[in-house]
Amino acid sequence: MIKVDDIHKSFGDAHILKGVSTQFEKGKTNLIIGQSGSGKTVFLKCLLGLFSPDKGNIIYNGKIYSNLSGDQQRNLRQEIGMVFQGSALFDSMTVEENVMFPLDMFTKQSKSEMQDRVDIVLRRVNLIDAHQKYPSEISGGMQKRVAIARAIVMNPKYLFCDEPNSGLDPKTAILIDNLIHEITQEFDITTVINTHDMNSVMEIGEKIIFLKNGYKEWEGSNKEIFKTDNKAVTDFVYSSDLFKKVRQMYLEERN
């Protein structure tokens, strides 16, 4: 579990985060949503330790991140997996080499041990015959699955995903959502996803944080978001006619 306690972050005169408090549950897909400029990216970077909050604390399983020593922070970061927006694969490395990279960098495992672990995670993301292919030789959806495999190869306790569906067609985006959700539950990971994808909100949003102008405007589940009367949330989530109709149908079925 990750607890966020009253964090603030400013850059010069720009006050980006304004007292955000929440917690992200273990074994659940926790989503951060909001318009561009709402503070989502800064919030995610604070959670990752890339930015230090000006005020407040980020607490990993009862340990305040800022109170940890340098070695303790480094050890914690090795318990974190990250799926970047553009996958961030190394073009000059094969799929297998990309996934093995964290093991090679941060563990003392033998080559055979690393190979066994790579084989396991590639099977888990349904990439059986792609070991020796390069990123340029596989589809965008396959690249995302490689990025997920690399993120979980060290058995992380925490998984962060920055716009994991960016650039994907709707069908592939749903497959990636389902894969992340399954892995979260299967390995009991605390997963935090920064997203603009409303399909992700509806499908896998077990916990949703909605940021607006640096404040936590709303939080709840994908079921609760259908029923909320918070205008800022409904204007953002149901901005399209399709989602407005879906919400209306949901509410009519409940009445």
Locate the domains of the chain by residue range: 1-79+156-222, 94-153
Segment 167-191 shows an average pLDDT of 92
- Residue 207 bridge partners (DSSP): 30
- Across the beta sheet with 55-60, the strand order is 14-24, 2-11, 55-60, 63-64
pLDDT value, residue 247: 64
State the pLDDT at residue 225: 87
Cα angle, residue 133 at apex, residues 98 and 175 outer, rounded to 5°:
75
pLDDT in tens, 81-137: 999 988 899 999 999 999 999 999 999 999 999 999 999 999 999 998 899 999 999
Decide which of 241 and 8 is more confident: 8
Mean pLDDT of the chain: 91
Q: What is the pLDDT of residue 145?
A: 94
Contact 155, 102 (CB under 8 A): no
Q: What is the pLDDT of residue 201?
A: 87
User: 230 phi and psi, to 5 degrees?
Assistant: -70, 115
SS (HEC) of the chain: CEEEEEEEEEECCEEEEEEEEEEECCCCEEEEECCCCCCHHHHHHHHCCCCCCCEEEEEECCEEHHHCCHHHHHHHHCCEEEECCCCCCCCCCCHHHHHHHHHHHHCCCCHHHHHHHHHHHHHHCCCCCCCCCCHHHCCHHHHHHHHHHHHHCCCCCEEEEECCCCCCCHHHHHHHHHHHHHHHHHHCCEEEEECCCHHHHHHHCCEEEEEECCEEEEEECCCHHHHCCCHHHHHHHCCCHHHHHHHHHHHHHHC
Q: How confident is the model at residue 37 (pLDDT cuts 50, 70, 90)?
A: confident
pLDDT at 239 over 80: no
Q: What pLDDT score was predicted for residue 253?
A: 65
Report pLDDT for 249.
65
pLDDT band for 68, please (50, 70, 90 cuts). very high
Look at residue 236 in the predicted model and tell me its pLDDT.
86
Label the pairing between strands 2-11 and 207-212.
Answer: unpaired
pLDDT score recorded for residue 211: 96
The mean pLDDT of 13-30, rounded to a whole number, is: 95
203-232: average pLDDT: 91
241 pLDDT band, cuts 50/70/90, is: low
User: Residue 240 above 70 pLDDT?
Assistant: no
Flag whether pLDDT at 254 surpasses 70: no
Question: What local confidence, expressed as pLDDT, does residue 85 receive?
Answer: 86
Q: Which fold has domain 1-79+156-222?
A: Rossmann fold (3.40.50)
User: How far, CA to CA in Å, does 65 sit from each of 69, 99, 102?
Assistant: 9, 27, 22
